[in-house]
Amino acid sequence: MQHHTLHSDNTILVITGPTASGKSSLAHELARRMHGEIISADSRQIYRQLDIGTAKPSREMQEEIPYHLLDICDIGEEFTAWDFIQRTSNCIHDIRSRGRQPIVAGGTTLYIQGLLQGFTNLPAKDPAIRARLEEEIRNEGPEALFRRLEQLDPMQAATLDPSKTQRLIRSLEIIELSGKTVTELMQQQEKEKPGFNMHPVALSVPRGILYNRINERTDTMMEQGLLEEAKNLHEQFGQRLIESERINALETVGYSELFDHFNGAISLDEAITLIKQHTRNYAKRQLTFFRNKLDLFWMPPPDTN
């Protein structure tokens, strides 16, 4: 991987890695030292009302360092990886125009991939195919479609959560429309890239330490009021979810499990256990994606024990 001077005119520091690896604290400290501003690469922190459960930077942190792409969408509003790239490009130009240093920090895999590798020209969405796939999920469950994708595109399947159907449907839709898998298309096509040199750093934490951090962070979130935050959201949106409406933002780990608790399906202790388990599963999928699909410079975070 090429190395660049971080203060060169066209180079952007990108800090990524699995959830709970210390990205936010490192980015904040570097921004403090480098006269920097932080662009969040987190597809959940874009939503208003999702604060504690997304580990959004605190009010104090946001008052000390300017943050971008936090709280820019209402729950239910669509925001794609392409939207992220366009908004990030605008942020970079704005930050630089004021003589400050942009730092991108976050772990949303498609956001980081788009920044580093550009975007493949994938076929447009097809409402008829999507409706049929959604009907299949209702009838057969997401596991059946996930197994189908594992057969057709195992590399793509390894990066997906079988219970989160948005990317699963999109992956199968692309195969039907193009006759090729997402993995094949990503490898074959020329991609449209942002016009910046990226210096990507990924934080590597030993798995045992990472999983302990995830468990401890979940307990801290509960102490900070995650239950109340989720309860307020459930009161606003719970009925729409019961009526089978899909709201992507509320499928976020930490909220979906507590919604199941509020609906009487599981106890609170079971919900907390599942939040920890599902977050560990998410971290594992992030690592699979980063190691298999991206060329990153791996380093331990400064505070690793």
- How many alpha carbons lie under 13 Å from residue 212 in its C-beta half-sphere? 7
Tokens linked to 75? 């729950």
Helix (H) or strand (E) holding 95: helix 81-97
**Known binding residues for ATP:** 17-24
**Known binding residues for substrate:** 19-24
**Distance in angstroms (rounded) separating the CA atoms of residues 87 and 101:** 16
- List all residues 6 or more positions away from 148 whose beta carbon is below 8 Å from its beta carbon: 172
DSSP 23-43: HHHHHHHHHHHHTEEEEE--T
Residue 44: other Cβ atoms inside 10 A: 20
**Known binding residues:** 17-24
Q: Compute the radius of gyration of the chain from its Cα atoms.
A: 19
Residue 56 phi/psi, 5° resolution? -65, 140
Tokens linked to 294? 């991206």
- How many alpha carbons lie under 13 Å from residue 282 in its C-beta half-sphere? 22
